[in-house]
Structure 1
Amino acid sequence: MPALALTELGGVAAYRNSAGNLAVNAMQFTSTDVLLGVGEEEGAVGEVAVSRISGTTGHALVAVRNGADKLQLIPYYVNSLADAIRGVGRTESTAGVGQIEATYSPTHDGAVVAFQNSTGALSVINYGVTLTATEELTVDRRSSASHSAAVGDVDVATVVMGRGVSESSGAWKGVVTVEQRSSGDTVWLRTWQIDTAGTSVTLVDTQQVKDLATNTAFTAADVDVTVTGNLGSREFAVVSVATPSGLRVQTWQISSAGLLGRVDQWDAGAASELSSARAGAQDAALGLRTGAGVMSLISFQVDSDGGLGRAGTVDAGAVSALAVDGRSGAQRLAALALDGDGEITVFHHPTNYSSLY
């Protein structure tokens, strides 16, 4: 799948090109158009993920499984011409990495990578990114944690305002991961706390994702998670699952202690290639490939109690893979899609609440 991260100055798209190499394109947005800068090409890669770097305006971290099957991190700065300027990255020493996902750090300048490690289990590594000059970035590893269960699919999202629906104070900070277990294809949700300096990653809570009405487990072929909500009150995890019977979307509250609780659920028809993002205040956008093979972007509104409502849908043409990301402050959404001919297209949308309308 391609990967996409929007920054305050634009965004960075990364994907495995037809030669099997990492391709990186930076972009900037106007009210009506997407401006693409000069592309960069690196060596051979398998899995690709990208995240914006917290605490900075125009920087992103690309995480890949390189040609040696190792986790490699490459930071980029997006300049005024929408060019991606490469910083100083790092490569982990252990081979055998599987799927990779990334999100920005909730507590410091950096990013968090969740991935399938060499034993097939889930690992979470927190990285710091240091800006030594406008276009000079370096990456350092701060801390990590793992869980022993083997996973087949994984995603990760950042939490900065963990507060339960019955709580009036507290602001838990960390990341939430969703995983499809390799054994049985069941779905599990976890919270991981990250301290202020990013030097500690701790598993806090684990919950199996079950049907809201029957409280029974179900199987998944694809999973995804994002976090949305009013930063002044509380955030919710929005978990999207492609099940054999169709799409299932749930909201989960995250308490001030990092504890998880299921709130609401919405079901629909066949879906795959899930990718979701926060796209506005209490707004989440889900990109997917429908049963007919076309891309669909669905907007969800999450109220202050975690209630989930479908707010709108935009459909596009046939795609084989896609990625979405949003800029909640600018009420902006972008989708990166790979079509059947291998062409990459960027779709730029104002959200329902955007001043661009």
Structure 2
Amino acid sequence: MDLALSPGDLAFRDEVRAFLDEKFTPDLRAEAARQAGVFAEADLNSRWHRILHQRGWIAPAWPKAYGGAEFTAVQRYIFDSELAEAGTPAIPAMGLQMCGPVLMGYGTAEQKAFFLPRMLSGEHYWCQGYSEPQAGSDLAALQCHAVRDDDHYVVNGTKIWTTHAHYANWMFLLVRTKTEGKPQAGITFLLLDMRTPGLTIQPIITLSGEHEVNQVFFDNVRIPIANRVGEENQGWTVAKYLLEFERGGSSFAARLRGALRQVKAIAQAEAADRGGALWTDPDFRTRFAQVEVETLAVEFTERRVVSQLSTGAPAGDASASMLKLKGTETMQKATELAVEAIGHYAAADQRMALGVGANVSPVGPDHAATPVARYLNARASTIYGGSSEVQRNILARAALGL
């Protein structure tokens, strides 16, 4: 296992850093620093998307044949890490990182020609229709159903926790097209124009005060059969393929280092109960060190996986689950430290200061504005994309053979 960067990789890293110095302007940095959600708000996301698209870097993993950058595994890791270290806006993953690779693997020539260029340009903004009120981690229990009517499917039911559905103009979704036999054998994968009649989007305001997720209702929504990906009743295979991209590929370590830098800066500015800066408190420093050690473990695991991939060897079935599990749980610990560090400012409602276009100052110093919202938002990270319990089950089977 070789964890060292080659001269070519170091040159690429410098190229990315120079790009960020030029294009990630102070106004973008300031706005990105106020984001508390998983993905950036639509306007900020669109601005950053255009900048990356103009550089040819909006789809690092896509093949050049489809308009992607076709970075190597090491280049992708460097690119993701540098963007995370800089704190750039988080581009929503539903189109470029999830639906795009699915279309490359299972889509028709017509679907690829129509959808992929529009994903790259940002003309199409995607959301994911998977979870339902009674079907989340147990996705095979979904009940939103579709019935054939000539050259359309007629869809009725609901989807929930649909991230950015209020911004999206396209959705990929799973529907039940057969009730007999195994639940997994009756699911179909469809693509939906969000302007289609019969669609209703209801906002869900989360504990952190954000409108990030929604519940979507389908009342006789007609979707052309031409918008089916894969064969009817074979959507479970497509869905499993997509989840590989949802659960893997994130640079957790770089984002964790950024979170810990924020914690350290706050702790150096805030007072401890016994006097002096909180950073001098040995109990706080001990907890900080524990999270720092876990972050190093995540980073070396990421580098080990990248090293394997760079040689053409598979990373192993358990790698994505292991990184998703430890990355999200460690991030939750980091956000807990940040809330502890801001002390009594954690009791203030800072939502007005975080809103899009807000001109209200946070209660207390600027560093007190985001920790609580990020702490509350991070509570969901061990649920979406497959809960921690699901990841441990996968690891038990794939890594331990249980």
**TM-score computed with the length of structure 1 as normaliser:** 0.25
Structure exhibiting the larger radius of gyration computed from Cα positions: 2
**TM-score computed with the length of structure 2 as normaliser:** 0.23
- State the structure with bigger RCO (CA 8 A, min sep 6), 1 or 2: 2
Greater helix fraction, Structure 1 or Structure 2: 2
Greater strand fraction, Structure 1 or Structure 2: 1
